[in-house]
Structure 1
């Protein structure tokens, strides 16, 4: 029920690949997001909008998520062990986002194929944090490839890692941490202090998964017709160019494997942020590069799942 098993990982990934995130199904991350927003408003009314309030927001969100998941599984275990196992698989499924990442990014690329830049910009705004209103075709493709690379770690490999280590409760704890970072972990006037604890905890939770994602991308690159050698070289050379201590690893590895250049400056909330580039422009940043990034994402996902299954099988 609480402990990870090979069957849990396999079933969760299979459900994700077959069904993605059905829009009609309530998703735990939506509830976590509402919990975060409710707490933030409450703490700000109390004047707790500094480091202390941010630490309280971070700790309570993760603790309440863990408590809710553990309590649900415990209650279901009392009713029926089989029901508890099924619920564990369903909770693990909600932690993964491979098909959803593919689906949402493919909508952007489909709009580009129709030469509908307005639709591509609007669809892109749903999956990236940068401003999209004035992006040209190449900038849109760059953003799509970057988000597939980054979210291969945040949305797939990292949850699989924590599901392997700590089961469905651990997977949901990671999703709570990641949701906190995506909502309040910004370096701006509003969240610089209140979001500090959430951002640092997210950095810690992704420390190993981000590097594992890059390694898996390099290792599986030949299986999808891409360059492992160049991926390793660019990963080692450019991972420190990203402002995040973790995101630079999968993005640099993906840039090298694909033979494209990622990174560079973008506008966020109307403010231009100039960032170093990742990779060399050996190949054009086009739709073929996006499709290569998707193949790479799936290859790394399957490899991580097999590693997790093997690890848990040995422990049994």
Structure 2
């Protein structure tokens, strides 16, 4: 149960202080590792389809193995000094692997600019948290992009690592973050990463398959709990639109969020000057507004706290069997 209480400590730490920009963060180190390994593996493996597929598989193996191994070594060293130090290090690790506060903070900047009528400032702020082109976005488009980011990253950045840590402690969190960071860096279908990034993309789909669906479930639960949210619609839209995305996971939380808020998300988007046609998620009962960004963050926090509480209850129950 030690890792469960450490996760609670990390959850509180993330809620209180988030990720100060001038502090060291493990994801930056994982990103550096991925870049260094990519450079070396491209030198070793041939520039053929099979060679790049093999190099990409090696990237997954070494990145996940080294990231998890270094975390295990740090915890072992801390435990050799004192068990309390090990527990405190576990709390800090868990807090760093959760991104709820950062997600709320960065999306909140978009909302503040929109509230002030500064559309250009809002475009700049939202460009820091989305991958699409933002120059063409209207005020509603900016708000919609921010809400979608909160919904999708509630899984990738909060509930998925939380669930991995509930089961495997901080080491599970480091494994997950290694895989998720690889996907964000090399999991693209372009000339450079079509084959090299395939193993990372497929592994990320696999490790997020259950968390994405549980995130949707906890979104629906949170929608029933929060005033002004619609739990019934969250369930209906999730059932109807959960597969409206090329990714097997992304539409799961977005659909539940769209239903809970009573808005329409997704749809066509511009990337690198090219319009990509995408299906919509949810019903356009009303326009998406700046306040929906705050409401999505409330949904995220309630869902993640519910997931942590449910996981803790399950762990306590199993401990007493």
Q: Distance in 2 between matches of 1:48 and 1:239?
A: 39
Give the deviation of 1:307 after TM superposition: 1.0
* Change in 2 beyond 3 A, CA 1:73/1:55: same
User: 1:260 is matched with which residue?
Assistant: 263
User: 2:18 is matched with which residue?
Assistant: 20
**Would you say the 8 A contact 2:254–2:281 is kept in 1?**
yes
User: 2:61 is matched with which residue?
Assistant: 59
**Would you say the 8 A contact 1:35–1:61 is kept in 2?**
yes
Give the deviation of 1:234 after TM superposition: 0.5
* Change in 2 beyond 3 A, CA 1:84/1:48: farther
Deviation by residue 1:247-300 (Cα, 9 ceiling, x = unmatched): 110001101111100011111222221110000011221123222211111110
**Would you say the 8 A contact 2:60–2:182 is kept in 1?**
yes
Mapping 1:48-87, distance limit 5 Å: 48=46, 50-87=52-89
**Would you say the 8 A contact 1:252–1:279 is kept in 2?**
yes
Match of 2:308 among 292, 295, 305: 305
Alignment pair present for 1:31 and 2:23: no
**Would you say the 8 A contact 1:17–1:99 is kept in 2?**
yes
Q: CA RMSD in A?
A: 1.3
Gaps of 5+ in 2: none
Q: Distance in 1 between matches of 2:37 and 2:67?
A: 13
User: Secondary structure of 1:5's match?
Assistant: helix
**Would you say the 8 A contact 1:265–1:275 is kept in 2?**
yes
Gaps of 5+ in 1: none
Q: Distance in 2 between matches of 1:48 and 1:116?
A: 50
User: 2:178 is matched with which residue?
Assistant: 176
Structure 1, 95-104 or 43-52: larger mean CA deviation: 43-52
**Would you say the 8 A contact 1:4–1:312 is kept in 2?**
no
Deviation by residue 1:192-248 (Cα, 9 ceiling, x = unmatched): 111100011100110110000000111111221211111111101011111110011
User: 1:160 is matched with which residue?
Assistant: 162
Q: Distance in 2 between matches of 1:53 and 1:121?
A: 37
Q: Distance in 2 between matches of 1:266 and 1:189?
A: 21
**Would you say the 8 A contact 1:10–1:309 is kept in 2?**
no
User: 2:222 is matched with which residue?
Assistant: 220
Q: Distance in 2 between matches of 1:305 and 1:244?
A: 26
User: 1:249 is matched with which residue?
Assistant: 252
Aligned residues: 314
Question: TM-score with structure 2 length normalisation?
Answer: 0.95
**Would you say the 8 A contact 1:96–1:160 is kept in 2?**
yes
Deviation by residue 1:100-134 (Cα, 9 ceiling, x = unmatched): 10000001111112222222122112111111122
Question: TM-score with structure 1 length normalisation?
Answer: 0.96
**Would you say the 8 A contact 1:4–1:163 is kept in 2?**
no
